[in-house]
Amino acid sequence: MAMIGNEAAAGSSWNVVMDHSQNLALRADYQMSPETFETSSMFVVVGHRGCGKNKVLPQGSTPETRLSIRENTITSFNLASKNEADFVEFDVQVTKDGIPIIFHDDVIVAEDQIPRHIREITLEEFRGMGPQTESTKVSKSLYRKAVDGSIALWTTDVEDSMCILAEAFAEVQPSTGFNIELKFGDDGSTTVEELHRVIDAVLQDVRQLANGRMIYFSSFHPDAVQILRKKMSLYPVFFLTNGGSQTYNDPRRNSIEAAIEVCREGNLQGIVSEVKAVLQHPASVALVKSQGLFFFTYGELNNFGEAVLKQKSWGIDGVIVDHVLEMVRVARQQEEPASPSSAAPGRRTVPVMY
């Protein structure tokens, strides 16, 4: 059976047993280590940034047919929960004044179109950007890099204000697990001091607010996952990799084999790979599982039912998806495999549940 950890109280190690009826049961008799992990046919569906990432289109482009919900917000997380995602995945960074916030991009761009790192702004500045839930508040519009590389206004059909990690713990359905991704820049310039600053701030929130919630951590930064594991042993830590679909200066990021070595050296519990690498090299599933590791995937191909069912048959433990409702149905075999075009609900017709 697949087990994902909980921390219920300081000094206690808990795990969650996920049975085939998708019920969750806490047990306190399990100490996490790769050697004692068990996996089964339980297949985990994780909502990517809640109910899916936002694509910003160049000016004049035809809008997508799917309703867009602002990513990494309480509304998006809770809709993914109502659509029966087991976990929601989100990106955590830490502001200049030490507050863990939820935001994906390496930089945030407001009306002046000057890119700023989250570590360079305060919580108050972060709160002043993007949509606001209080009508009396005036905020700066957000911009984002569009698919053609241009900078365009970032809007969605269903808006919500951006949130901090503490609010996610307080306001997201407690039965929904969290995949907390620690977000650092891809350029490799993050200092060791900054890694510790971010990890310490995030762990402080988690230890104070988790309250038995299912949690696992992940990061693309190989040093970050190893530092995190040394500081915290009660929750699983996964290493994120593109699986070789993109080349980085750090060779630890360039293959699934290298990711296995990162896990071995850091005593990590799993790998999350870009799905293309797995579909191109199915033998990688058996290789990862032979090391006693969980194996999840992410990427746009996970919005195709055929790809999800193929991975499930190979022994992949979970998929991170944008099209949560459709892929939950496919994974639970409630309907025939669906492509994004045939499964997507029409714009403004999807029931948005609050």
Report domain extents, the chain.
44-57+66-332
Three-state SS at 346: coil
pLDDT at residue 8 in the model = 38
pLDDT band at 291 (very low <50, low <70, confident <90, very high): very high
Of 337, 351, 352, 340, residue with least CA distance to 65: 340
Which whole number is the average pLDDT over 7-17? 37
pLDDT band at 135 (very low <50, low <70, confident <90, very high): low
What value does the mean pLDDT of the chain take? 85
Separation between Cα atoms, residue 236 and residue 296, nearest integer Å: 13
- Is the confidence at residue 335, as pLDDT, over 50? no
313: left (phi over 0), alpha (psi -120 to 50) or beta: alpha
Q: Which amino acid is at 80?
A: A
pLDDT band at 60 (very low <50, low <70, confident <90, very high): confident
pLDDT at residue 351 in the model = 33
Which whole number is the average pLDDT over 174-184? 97
- CATH number, domain 44-57+66-332: 3.20.20.190
Separation between Cα atoms, residue 114 and residue 111, nearest integer Å: 8
pLDDT at residue 246 in the model = 87
pLDDT at residue 172 in the model = 98
Q: Are the beta carbons of 328 and 84 closer than 8 angstroms?
A: yes
C-alpha dihedral sign at 127, 129, 131, 136: positive
pLDDT band at 44 (very low <50, low <70, confident <90, very high): very high
Of 282, 49, 69, 36, residue with least CA distance to 157: 69
pLDDT at residue 28 in the model = 25
Which whole number is the average pLDDT over 25-39? 32
- Is the confidence at residue 141, as pLDDT, over 70? yes
Which whole number is the average pLDDT over 156-180? 97
pLDDT at residue 5 in the model = 54
pLDDT at residue 32 in the model = 38
pLDDT band at 276 (very low <50, low <70, confident <90, very high): very high
% of the chain exceeding 70 in pLDDT: 81
pLDDT at residue 273 in the model = 98
Separation between Cα atoms, residue 40 and residue 189, nearest integer Å: 39
347: left (phi over 0), alpha (psi -120 to 50) or beta: beta
Which whole number is the average pLDDT over 157-176? 97
Higher pLDDT, 328 or 38: 328
Which whole number is the average pLDDT over 10-28? 32
Which whole number is the average pLDDT over 246-273? 96
Three-state SS at 102: strand
To 5 degrees, how large is the angle CA 292–CA 84–CA 14? 45
Express each pLDDT in 97-114 by its tens digit. 999 999 999 999 999 889
